[in-house]
Structure 1
Amino acid sequence: MMFIQNMGGGFIILFIFSILYFIFWVYCLVDVIRSEFKDPNMKLIWVLILVFAQGIGPIIYLIIGNSGKKFSY
């Protein structure tokens, strides 16, 4: 118990940031899986990018991932 008290606020902020990032990563992964892309291989490529480039993969997906999606109105 004393160990947790000595960690300070930095640990709590890092823990909350980690949880929020995990939720963001899962959101992007689910979005890739549920979406249809113009090129069928793009789904596999985006999943691999999200899995292996975890630090920046979701950010890259949100910036340029929508350009390859099929939109049905």
Structure 2
Amino acid sequence: MKALSIIILILDIFAIVKILQSGAEVPQKALWIALVVILPLLGLILWALLGPGSPVKK
């Protein structure tokens, strides 16, 4: 269980870095970061599916 928590933490940090590097507007970045921080697993999944540069938006 501890390993899963560490993996999710690493993925969340990766997502936050990618969000900050994205070309999205600042309010959008802040919203995505807040979502990833408040709901780590769900926020990560939503960002991967719906965030800037996601395959669903293309």
**TM-score when scaled to structure 2?**
0.76
- Between the two proteins, the alignment pairs up a number of residues equal to 54
In structure 2, stretches of 5+ residues that fail to align are none
In structure 1, stretches of 5+ residues that fail to align are 1-13, 69-73
Give the aligned partner of residue 46 of structure 1: 32
The offset of 1:36, in angstroms, is 1.2
Equivalent residue letter for 1:42 = Q
Give the aligned partner of residue 17 of structure 2: 30
Equivalent residue letter for 1:22 = L
The offset of 1:57, in angstroms, is 0.4
Q: 3-state SS of the aligned residue for 2:41?
A: coil
**TM-score when scaled to structure 1?**
0.63
Larger C-alpha radius of gyration, 1 or 2? 1
Identity %: 20
Runs of 4+ in 1 over 2 A off after TM superposition: none
- Could you say what the CA RMSD is over the residues aligned between the two structures, in angstroms? 1.7
For the residues of structure 2 that align with 1:49 and 1:24, how far apart are their CA atoms? 14
